[in-house]
Amino acid sequence: MEAQGTTNQQRVTGLVKWFDPAKGFGFVVSDQGGSDILLHANVLRNFGQGSVVDGSVIEIAVQDTQRGLQAVEVISITPPRMETAVPLKDMAEFSPEDIASRAIEPARVKWFDKAKGFGFANIFGNDDDVFIHIEVLRRSGLSDLQSGEAIGLRLVDGERGRMAIEVVGWEVAAK
């Protein structure tokens, strides 16, 4: 999988410095130091995500190109710990094990507004709206969702209807 005129790939672990889905790229800071590593949206999409939250631990395959270090494959992403996040009332009773035991349901994003801090999706075959809070998105390792994006959701019945307690990329949901 080596591109013409580039050197061999190496595996790198680091932190997502920032990623902007609207710009289509962001940067990773390697644990070993050195130059920032370009993370292009296409490489992230190949992993099954349209965004990644800042501060996530990421393992990537990297190539040194004429323009500097670039990620060519995402191997794993671990969202940052959110100890300081305000717990959501509807999620307070669920442990990580409880959340992981719920089925992942395939869904499509209806709309999501990062500035408002929430949005909605629809489970395939069902027109009912499912609420997605920005904190759930961050805890899931994502920073934003695009209208029409295919995702997987783990759900609970909250005070005001169905809501996501975890959001995963489509490729994860399809497995």
Q: Containing domain of residue 39, as a range?
A: 10-78
Which residue type occupies 33? Answer: G
Please write the tens of the pLDDT for every residue from 25-81. 999 999 998 889 999 999 998 988 888 988 899 999 999 988 899 999 999 998 887
**Are residues 69 and 93 located together in one domain of the fold?**
no
The Cα 152–Cα 169 span in angstroms is 6
Query: Beta 57-65 vs 25-30: how paired, if at all?
Result: unpaired
pLDDT band at 157 (very low <50, low <70, confident <90, very high): confident
157 within some domain: yes
Domain count, the chain: 2
**Which of 6-10, 21-25, 111-115, 144-148 is predicted with the least confidence, judged by mean pLDDT?**
6-10
The Cα 23–Cα 171 span in angstroms is 22
pLDDT band at 6 (very low <50, low <70, confident <90, very high): very low
Q: Check residue 42 and report its DSSP letter.
A: H
pLDDT greater at residue 173 or residue 156: 156
The helix/strand count (H/E) of the chain reads as 4, 10
**Are residues 56 and 101 located together in one domain of the fold?**
no
- Asked if 52 contacts 26 with a C-beta cutoff of 8 angstroms, the reply is yes
pLDDT band at 173 (very low <50, low <70, confident <90, very high): low
5 within some domain: no
pLDDT band at 8 (very low <50, low <70, confident <90, very high): confident
The Cα 43–Cα 100 span in angstroms is 26
Q: Is 74 helix (H, G, I), strand (E, B) or coil?
A: strand
Length of the chain measured in residues = 175
- Asked if 129 contacts 120 with a C-beta cutoff of 8 angstroms, the reply is yes
Q: Which of 49, 78, 107 is the last residue of a domain?
A: 78
Residue with the two structure tokens 């349209």: 50
**Are residues 41 and 114 located together in one domain of the fold?**
no
**Are residues 140 and 70 located together in one domain of the fold?**
no
Q: Which among 50, 164, 26 is positioned nearest to 107, based on CA atoms?
A: 164
**Are residues 74 and 93 located together in one domain of the fold?**
no
Predicted pLDDT of residue 78? 87
3 within some domain: no
Buried b (16+ CB within 10 A) or exposed e, 61-70: bbbeeeeebb
Q: Check residue 147 and report its DSSP letter.
A: T
- Asked if 20 contacts 26 with a C-beta cutoff of 8 angstroms, the reply is yes
162 within some domain: yes
Q: Is 130 helix (H, G, I), strand (E, B) or coil?
A: strand
Q: Hey, how many other C-beta atoms are within 10 angstroms of the C-beta on 11?
A: 10
Q: Which of 23, 44, 78 is the last residue of a domain?
A: 78
Please write the tens of the pLDDT for every residue from 77-135. 988 876 544 455 556 667 778 878 889 999 999 999 988 989 999 999 888 899 999 98
**Are residues 103 and 168 located together in one domain of the fold?**
yes
- pTM, two decimal places: 0.66
**Which of 44-48, 134-138, 167-171 is predicted with the least confidence, judged by mean pLDDT?**
167-171
State the CATH number of the domain containing residue 60.
2.40.50.140
